[in-house]
Chains A and B, each alone.
Chain A
Amino acid sequence: MKRSFKLAAAMVAVAGTLLTASLPAAAAEEQFVPLLAYRTGSFAPLGIPWADGKMDYLKLVNERDGGINGVKIVYEECETAYATDRGVECYERLKNSHGGASGFDTQSTGITFALTDKAIVDGFSIETVGYGLSQSADGSVFKWNFPLLGTYWTAADVMIQDIAKKLGGEDKLKGKKIALVYHDSPYGKEPITLLKARAEANGFELLLYPVTAPGVQQKSTWLQVRQSRPDFLLLWSAGIMTPTAIREAQAVGYPRDKMYGIWWASSENDVQDLGEVAKGYNGITIHNSADHGRVHEDLKKHVYDKGQGTDTDGKYVGTIAHTRGMMISMLQVEAIRTAQEKYGKGKHMTPEQVRWGFENLNITQERLEELGFAKLMKPVKTSCSNHMGDDWARIIQWNGSKFEIVSDWYQSDKKYVEPLVKELAAKYATEKKLEVRNCEG
């Protein structure tokens, strides 16, 4: 009895050391970037190019520049299948690997919520480019969250602006009906707060149509749409829900050019199988992720021509989701580089130092030129109080075979977005008893 117990204890100890020993000790010239991804499950069509893009850019930095000021990037992927508990497991597994994670791009609103609480305690940055909690743009409350480049509120605001422009002015919105067809989850519900504020200010009627996940059953929703005939329709969908919605729009005769998809619902894989059916469907891009830049050529030359690309079929490179993945990694890398400028070039940065880098990003036009992102982005600057940076967006339209950029640059109207950010961030701070940082000094 006694012996078997000792044996068991020894086995547990051996297993423990094996697991820890398999991870190389933190070396000064390495920087670890964990990659949470969903390559399986119902959102995989979006998740695969996204994950490929994130990894491809890290490979590019290692190949082309030899790392960040000589610091090689190491990375490890973890599959979440979009499930929150799997995401939490991934976070726990990866957070302390290789001397500490440089930041988590969770790829999921649910995982973002779960990790936001944990990251405050553990001290890891949560980078949510174009998703996550919209109020986390307020850095004085959300010290560790970075919803860079835009949130669902800025996206919703830009869509309303584009609609107003088509109608000929914001005053023309009065009396119009705008519908929101959304994935019934925190992800889909995020824009409602802003749209309600906008509806009140601009005098349009907001119709809310929730669709139960995963969104293959939408018949009743679209019958309601047919009945109420909204003037415009915003689509907050993901994965299989998007093509289903466009098909249903066709079935009830709703004009596709009155539909606006959020950025996760407007990449090629959502519409290419529909072809002509989706013609006229509008989408929004974070900054200008539908365009191509020199970074794509670099990626081909330094990574894909050497046969090291993540996407072995090569069919995703240059698609919107893949480009967006690269943008996310680029921001991550730039945050590390910014941190190195303060804390020592060519050194390993701790998670706390990377956080400082995220908070003091200053990606100028010249820097974008150097990186090959000049056509894809506008300059971005973050600060203690502004964790989002500058939110630019453009509207794209599917012409039956590819997306075309059809609008000029937009920026969200601070008049509507900022009060909401302040209000809900303050509410969060009181609920969680968080200390609000003073960003004035």
Chain B
Amino acid sequence: MFYRENGQFKSTYRADQQIFPIRQDRTFMLGVLIAAFVLVPLLASNYFLQAIFIPFLILSLAAIGLNILVGYCGQISIGSGAFMAVGAYAAWNFGVRIPATPLVIQILLGGVFATLVGVVFGVPSLRIRGLYLAVTTLAAQFFVDWAFLRIPYFTNYSSSGNVSVPALSAFGLPVQTPVQRYLFVLVFVVVFAVLAKNLVRGAIGRQWMAIRDMDVAASVIGIRPVYAKLTAFAVSSFIIGVAGALWAYIHLGSWEPLAFDLNRSLQLLFIVIIGGLGSIVGSFFGAAFMVLLPVLLTNVPHLFGLSISVDVASHIEHMVFGALIVFFLIVEPHGLARLWSIGKEKLRIWPFPH
């Protein structure tokens, strides 16, 4: 009907190579961006901003990072919570020890340190793969948990091991009200999503995918596994580290290592699997699924005037969540992103399906 590319001819390489080759997609994306930057801050209540949109955006960012590693390069990691923690604590340490560091630089430095740690823990990937690699990334998780709990330097000798950030401001503007914080996070997520999208469709992304599909074949055609794997670890950890710093700074404001424990790693892995391996947009779908579903499941019975006790609701949530994950993966093992692209395919050939 309206989603058809008839008559859209590309006459330059530039036009042929753009991220969204179809005009409808570009318009849609523009609409989404306008909605995200203008409509949401105007319409959404503080609760929606703080409890739904901000965690959704930050988890999407972390999922993009993990997707580069797991989805594009095929290196399974269950240590992403650790890299988030490194990002958060490194950023915080810069803020505390060099108070003149601007906020954005603090957060990016958090990413840089996460990169270093990520590369170190990525080294085993040169020799081992699959489940074995997953277990070594698990070691990263435990090591980082241990370090931030036991080494008092990292928490600036805080008596309880808990750290918190002071009032934030960036470029002379305060980042305090929900709208300001939402916009701050949104800018990060948009910039990183575009960067990630461009990386994965460039030369480096093709190398990652070649390694993922068959590393021996990839090295035969001249791709260096060392370079490809370590860059995947580096880029992925950088993005996850930035997401970790945002999670700590913007979402929590005060945190302990428990905020980045194994559950967070598993949550991110679920987001990537449900959203779709090897898909940037899938990271957003997965994060939305993960953040919105629990909130919906807790609020929906109330909307219909049903009163169920919170523990029952919580248990129902676990059951529904598990069931939905199994259902989705049976129906569409490639995740929500694949459903999305099937939907688009169907629209393009509607009303005459093959």
Contacts and interface: CB of A to CB of B under 8 A. Distances in A.
Interface of A: 1, 5, 8-9, 12-13, 16, 18-20, 22, 37, 39-40, 44, 48, 77-79, 81, 83-85, 88-89, 92-93, 96, 109-110, 113-114, 116-118, 121, 133, 184-186, 189-190, 192-193, 210, 212-213, 424, 431-433
A79 B46 contact: no
A1 B259 contact: no
A79 B313 contact: yes
Interface of A is mostly: helix
Given A88-B251, A89-B51, A186-B162, A77 B310 contact: yes
B149 A184 contact: yes
Interface in B169-198: 176
Given A9-B39, A18-B303, A193 B51 contact: no
Given A88-B252, A89-B295, A22 B302 contact: yes
Interface string B46-62: 11101100010000000
Interface in B279-330: 295, 298-299, 302-303, 309-311, 313-315
A249 B189 CA distance: 51
19 contacts: A8-B35, A12-B43, A16-B44, A39-B314, A40-B314, A40-B315, A85-B259, A89-B295, A93-B51, A110-B162, A110-B256, A113-B164, A113-B255, A185-B256, A189-B160, A210-B150, A212-B149, A213-B258, A424-B159
Nearest to B259: A84
Contacts of A79: 298, 310-311, 313-314
A88 B51 contact: yes
Contacts of A5: 31
Contacts of B256: 84, 110, 113, 185-186
A44 B256 CA distance: 21
Given A84-B255, A186-B256, A213-B258, 14 more contacts: A1-B27, A37-B310, A78-B310, A79-B311, A84-B259, A88-B51, A88-B252, A110-B162, A110-B258, A114-B164, A117-B164, A189-B159, A193-B159, A424-B159
Contacts of A8: 35
Contacts of B51: 88-89, 92-93
Contact of B166 (A213, A424, A432): A432
Contacts of B252: 84-85, 88, 114
Contacts of A1: 2, 24, 27-28
Interface residues of B, number: 46
Contacts of B165: 117
A40 B295 CA distance: 16
A96 B176 CA distance: 18
B47 A93 contact: yes
Contacts of A84: 252, 255-256, 258-259
Interface in B21-37: 24, 27-28, 31, 35
A118 B311 contact: no
Contacts of A433: 166-167
Contacts, number: 121
Interface of B is mostly: helix
B315 A92 contact: no
B149 A114 contact: no
A212 B161 CA distance: 14
B160 A109 contact: yes
Given A186-B256, A193-B159, A92 B176 contact: no
Contacts of A113: 160, 162, 164, 254-256
Nearest to A114: B254
Contacts of B47: 92-93, 96
A141 to B, nearest CB: 14
A186 B252 CA distance: 15
A210 B146 CA distance: 11
A193 B160 CA distance: 9
Task: Give the most central of A16, A37, A83, A84: most B CB within 10 Å.
Answer: A84
Task: Give the most central of A18, A77, A83, A184: most B CB within 10 Å.
Answer: A184
A13 B43 contact: yes
Contacts of B130: none
Nearest to B31: A5
Contacts of B254: 113-114, 116-117
The 5 residue pairs across chains A and B that have the minimum distance between CB atoms: A39-B311, A186-B160, A79-B310, A186-B162, A113-B254
Contacts of B302: 22
Task: Give the most central of B2, B50, B150, B159: most A CB within 10 Å.
Answer: B159
B45 interface: yes
Task: Give the most central of A77, A81, A85, A212: most B CB within 10 Å.
Answer: A85
A92 B50 contact: yes
Contact of B160 (A22, A117, A190): A190
Contacts of B24: 1
B253 interface: yes
A109 B164 CA distance: 13
A264 to B, nearest CB: 15
Task: Give the most central of B27, B43, B160: most A CB within 10 Å.
Answer: B160
Given A85-B259, A121-B176, A184-B149, A39 B310 contact: yes
A233 to B, nearest CB: 21
Nearest to A86: B294
B8 to A, nearest CB: 14
Contacts of B31: 5
A22 B303 contact: yes
Contacts of B295: 89
Nearest to A113: B254
Contacts of B43: 12-13, 16
A15 to B, nearest CB: 9
Contacts of B315: 40
A210 B28 CA distance: 54
B150 A431 contact: no
A189 B161 contact: yes
Nearest to A312: B309
B293 to A, nearest CB: 13
B48 to A, nearest CB: 7
B166 A431 contact: yes
